[in-house]
Amino acid sequence: MSSIPRFATRLFLAILLVSVVAAPHGAAFLAQAQNLGQRNVSGSVVDDRSVPVAGATVFLKNQKTKSIRSYTSSADGRFRFAQAVMSDDYDLWAEKDNRKTAVKTVSSWDARKEFETELKFK
């Protein structure tokens, strides 16, 4: 009967040892998992001749929450949205002078952390 408490003590010590050794790795994994939750959405806005369009308003709409973020394209037509949640789907488009590009979807199924695209006025 004395072997059962000895076994329980050894089992407890083994579990304790594994948890102490694995804890730093577990914390690193959790931190990495949190970083996997966000992406950058960037690209360029161009006209029908592929010339960069400065001053276009680019919209990023979260399909779940309906919140909309906007960005004004730079002199070289570039835009960038940081910290887009990877588990959400987004609509992305640009507008300028009563013109609008086609709406593109940034899908939660797309695993890229850096989503790069071109928004083209027709």
25 shares its domain with 57: no
What tens digit of pLDDT does each residue of 46-92 get?
999 999 999 999 999 999 999 999 999 999 999 999 999 999 999 99
- Identify which has the larger pLDDT, 85 or 26: 85
Tell me the whole-structure pTM to 2 decimals: 0.71
Residue range 27-39: mean pLDDT, rounded:
58
102 shares its domain with 52: yes
1 shares its domain with 46: no
- What's 102's DSSP letter? P
Pairing of strands 90-96, 104-106: antiparallel
80 shares its domain with 105: yes
Q: Which domain holds residue 69?
A: 38-120
The enclosing domain of 85 has a CATH number of: 2.60.40.1120
Task: Specify the pLDDT at position 35.
Answer: 45
How far is residue 28's CA from residue 4's CA, in Å, rounded to a whole number? 36
Binned at pLDDT 50, 70 and 90, residue 34 comes out as very low
Domains in the chain, number: 2
51 shares its domain with 108: yes
Q: How confident is the prediction for the chain on average, in pLDDT?
A: 86
Burial (0-12, 13-18, 19+ Cβ within 10 Å), 41 = buried
